[in-house]
Amino acid sequence: MVDDFVDNLILLQTILEAEGYEVETANGGAVALEKIQVIPPDLILLDVMMPDIDGYEVTRQIRQNPNISFIPILLVTAHATVDAIHGLDIGANDFIRKPFDFDELLARIRAFLRVTYDLKDD
């Protein structure tokens, strides 16, 4: 999970851990890229608007790296002006706006992880 607002990270981490997920957090794009290369996650929840490296650029860099390009990316934003089409075109798998319905978010996470684990079993 990547977001430059610590409160958002804490909230989502608490919710996801209560659902049984292991959660790693990063408070910016550069930190996220470093962590992802060391221990690739099963899914990335990625805020679009961040001050160091925005979510679009993080997505681009992940998709250009063959060692981690397979990781599903769910872009997350609170900004109405963010372009979902652009995010999907550069390689994000899905897009969700804040404030989001937590049941919907959890359903999207389950769907991505189901696909990820199905692919790993083959």
Contact, 92 vs 57, CB < 8 A? no
Report pLDDT digits (tens) over 11-67: 999 999 999 999 999 999 999 999 999 999 999 999 999 999 999 999 999 999 999
Beta bridge partners of 47: 76
Report pLDDT digits (tens) over 5-15: 999 999 999 99
DSSP run (H or E) holding 60: helix 55-64
Domains of the chain by start residue, with CATH: 6-121 (3.40.50.2300)
Q: Of 56 and 81, which is predicted with more confidence?
A: 56
User: What pLDDT, on the 0 to 100 scale, is given for residue 26?
Assistant: 96
Using DSSP's 3-state secondary structure scheme, residue 77 falls into strand
Total-model pTM: 0.89
Q: How far is 14 from 60, CA to CA, in rounded Å? A: 28
CA count, 13 A, side-chain hemisphere, 31: 13
**Residue 121 — very low, low, confident or very high, per pLDDT cuts 50/70/90?**
very low
What does the block give as tokens for 33?
Answer: 């890229």
